[in-house]
Structure 1
Amino acid sequence: MSFGARSRTVLASLGTLGLALAAAASPASAAGGTPTTPTQLFNGYRNCSTDADRPTYLWAGTGLVVEGIPGTTDATDNSPVTVEYQVWPVADPAQTTTVTREHAAPGFESPGTLPADALADGQTYAWRAQTVAGGAASDWSAPCYVTIDNTRPANAPTLSSPNYPPDEWNKGGEPVEFALGAGGVADVTGYEFSWQQDLPVIGTSIGDHGIPQPVDPYADTRYFKRADAPDGSATLRLIPPNGAGPMTLWVRSLDRAYNGSAVTRYTFRVSSTAPTVTPAVPSPEFGRPTTFTLRPNTALQSTSPVVSYSVRTIGGQSDKTVDVAAAADGTAEAKLALDGLYGESLQVTSKSANGWVSDAASWSISYDTTPTVASDVYPENGSGGGAGVPGTFTFTPKVKGVVSYTYSFNGDPEVTVAAGAHHTASIDWTPASDGFYDLTVHATTRSGVQLAPYDYFFTVN
């Protein structure tokens, strides 16, 4: 379950798990062994703190989920037991509140909810648990200490950047430095940030036997930053997700209970740092390997040397992304055979030594891979011949390596003929009747690539 006053996501239903396991046992029976003190104690899906001087800070606006694993000395008896949870203010131990969880499954986390009206905001409480079975009760567990914090930070954080000001186009290439401030809030412990407006949910996964697996959110440096100083301030150095254009970072502060403040955003602009892409010849032939030279953006190279490129092909027979290492001067070469039936494009980004990824440079070419079709008796988009009058149709390629042609008149079954000298082919055809005809033809290359089809329209007199 997520932490914080307004973001609470259930990752696993421990209550359903416990009740299902209890139902599998005989509810009328009592545990055969002596009850044992519950173990694996958690509160709000976070670890129990047994140090009164270092309580766990938790939001409890709708109550506080506490849990532990009950058991008995008879490990083979799965009869349900009862778990009692008792809570009291540290300042007044006589004011106890007890919550009972019946039909709990031995060996599995058995949650109970301490009521919200027994937990005052800003107060520190102790709670403990015991197992009850067959009229007997275990010893109470050692107390866990929590401080209730139902109040999120009152002010949004302050956010600025000394090297990427918001009112101008910045040249890019350097990590963006951000200065984060608590906005005058005293209990800010850190920050959550993202290049997306929807910030991640702080959650806890559930392991075997329903045991929560809490982690320190600040260990995930992709989205969290612990405060660097007691006043809650922090400094971030980030590489933007895109190499150019408007960028926005979204940030909120977190208190000790991980309650989140209102969100602050910082928008700035980055000029293009895209590389240049130059083919060895101005118009590379279809299907023929061509060397492309990749050169870094000059300003980017002077800031942090380019160490590699990512080259993505779009529109070919098999689109792919290849990574190419750069030389010391930041240049690189990529050898590619472009085989898009109607053309192909490249999207190329560079990566610098400091991790900066540029925006993409684009390069593209168009291809006409349809065959040329000609007939002296039945001209294209014209009329000629007649029913029973034979005509010859000649197919000529526009690209190299053609070995055959496949054709069809008015959707009849396709016929394939081999290409002859100069990779051309001719067919003789005699119409059975007059009228409008559509001759569809495509060529196939030596490597098995079926090229774009061509429709040749004509009328038989």
Structure 2
Amino acid sequence: MSFGARPRAVLASLGTLGLVLTGAASPASAADGTPTTPTQLFNEYRHCSTDADRPSYRWARDGLVVEGIPGVTDPTGNPLVSVRYQAWPVTDPTRITTVSRDRVPLGFEAPATLPATALADGQSYAWQAQTVVGDAASDWSAPCYVTIDNTRPANAPTVTSPNYPPDVWNKGGEPVEFTLSAGGVDDVEGFEFAWQPDLPVIGTSIGAYGIPQPVDPYSDAKYFKRADALGGSATLSLVPPAGSGPKTLWVRSLDRAYNGSAITSYTFRVSSAMPTVTPAVPKPEFGEPTGFTLRPDPELHAKSPVVSYSVRTLSGQDDRTFEVAAEEDGTAVMELAMDGIYGVNLQVTSKSANGWISDAAWWGISYDTTPTVVSDAYPENGSGDGVGVPGTFTFTPKVNDVESYTYTFNNGDPEVTVPADADHTASIDWTPASAGWYDLTVYATTRSGIQLAPYDYYFTVN
């Protein structure tokens, strides 16, 4: 449901209880006992206000849903009863509108809708409820007071920031201070904001027995902030999304009925600042555990100490993301196995004590873990000997700790695995059964079980 169309969403269906019936009453046989005043009163899925000086403000262009739970003393069986509602303008108690909800199970909310034609924008109303069983009726509930507000704020809010101006590149590292103002609209109660243009919809969940579960949206400080006074302003201190470049905060004003204004935005730019990633040796060997030192951007660390790093590994045997705690000076040391058969890449961001996440630093290294293949009888990319003439193929590793080699001819033949010699090489003898083009595919496996990159050796048999 679009916020601009209506500033609430009911997050659970009332099923058949959503039907509104007017005018009728339950038969006298619906229940034994005496009807009692309804409880759990709500208007438009928000708590009713019994304080005439502090009415609930609600949008009611499609009518106003009022509801309460009927009661009966000493009921027998599962009786169905009615709830009658009446409403009137606070300025004219003689103009009463009455609606009813019939055949309601005891213990369940009994919603009915006050028609929009009886509710004027800007007018305050009182309403009350009573339980009806046949010709018997309970006392009326205490009046609930509601003011109808079908008009959203006329102006979008204004947004300014003293420490991140919009027309320059700003060095990051500290939260962005924002001031949100109502734009001259005197009934703005607060503001909704987010780092994306699709702002959250204010909703009300429906609990057991159809009872609404309203929550004050301003209790969610991630997206909402109440103004310092009606029609006033609010200040925010926010850490923007990670990384450098343009950042945009999207904001709208909310009145007391949670009608939203047009959305405004504030865009500023953050310059790049990333940690450095330094291996203990310039070119770490494949398969070897290697130490790395992580150092923060000095300006970020000076504004708020770097307390940890998020490290993401790419192209390794077990890619993962993990956290590394920083020392007091912002540096950290970690050790990683260089086990990517084509290379290893690291993506590292720093996190400051105030929550700031830096740009990602990248470090990477490439490896060639394919074996070398040599044959005198059948040279690579050439032709040799002929059908029935045996040839020897020698496999030599480019990395350490190779335990075996696995090969196949023409990719369709079964794979064959041979152990490596003490010098980690291996040789095979092979005799071609027919002339033509051949593809010998070979890969090595290390003692730790890593299957290395395959190599394709092409040749022709005369």
TM-score scaled by structure 2? 0.94
Aligned match of 2:100: 100
Q: Deviations over 1:407-432 (max 9, x none)?
A: 11122111111111221111111111
Map residues 30-429 of structure 1 onto 2, 5 A cutoff. Answer: 30-74=30-74, 77-410=77-410, 411-429=412-430
Distance change >3 Å, CA 75–CA 351, structure 1 → 2: farther
2: CA distance, partners of 1:434 / 1:376: 17
Counterpart AA for 1:36:
T
| Partners of 1:169 and 1:270 within 8 A in 2 | yes
Q: Deviations over 1:277-327 (max 9, x none)?
A: 111112222221111111111111111111111111112121111111111
* Count of residues paired in the alignment: 455
Aligned match of 1:457: 458
2: CA distance, partners of 1:105 / 1:232: 46
Q: Secondary structure at the match of 1:117?
A: helix
Aligned match of 1:22: none
Counterpart AA for 1:342:
Y
Counterpart AA for 1:318:
D
Q: Secondary structure at the match of 2:423?
A: helix
1: CA distance, partners of 2:394 / 2:383: 17
TM-score scaled by structure 1? 0.94
Distance change >3 Å, CA 33–CA 369, structure 1 → 2: farther
Q: Secondary structure at the match of 2:299?
A: helix
Deviation at 1:42, TM superposition (A): 1.0
Distance change >3 Å, CA 214–CA 239, structure 1 → 2: same
2: CA distance, partners of 1:34 / 1:270: 69
Q: Deviations over 1:420-446 (max 9, x none)?
A: 122111111111111111111111121
2: CA distance, partners of 1:325 / 1:251: 35
1: CA distance, partners of 2:350 / 2:242: 12
Counterpart AA for 1:424:
T
Counterpart AA for 2:64:
L
Percent of aligned pairs with the same amino acid: 77
Q: Which sections of structure 2, spanning at least 5 residues, go unmatched?
A: 20-25
| Partners of 1:204 and 1:214 within 8 A in 2 | yes
Q: Secondary structure at the match of 1:37?
A: strand
| Partners of 1:127 and 1:143 within 8 A in 2 | yes
| Partners of 2:4 and 2:259 within 8 A in 1 | yes
Counterpart AA for 2:168:
E
Q: Secondary structure at the match of 2:302?
A: helix
Deviation at 1:2, TM superposition (A): 9.1
Aligned match of 1:433: 434
Aligned match of 1:23: none
2: CA distance, partners of 1:105 / 1:254: 37
| Partners of 2:86 and 2:98 within 8 A in 1 | yes
RMSD: 2.0
Deviation at 1:233, TM superposition (A): 0.7
Counterpart AA for 1:419:
A
Distance change >3 Å, CA 376–CA 12, structure 1 → 2: same
2: CA distance, partners of 1:75 / 1:5: 43
Deviation at 1:27, TM superposition (A): 11
Distance change >3 Å, CA 139–CA 169, structure 1 → 2: same
Q: Secondary structure at the match of 2:240?
A: coil
Distance change >3 Å, CA 407–CA 188, structure 1 → 2: same
2: CA distance, partners of 1:37 / 1:181: 44
Counterpart AA for 2:98:
T
Q: Secondary structure at the match of 2:388?
A: coil
1: CA distance, partners of 2:401 / 2:437: 32
| Partners of 2:31 and 2:75 within 8 A in 1 | no
Q: Secondary structure at the match of 2:120?
A: coil
Deviation at 1:41, TM superposition (A): 0.9
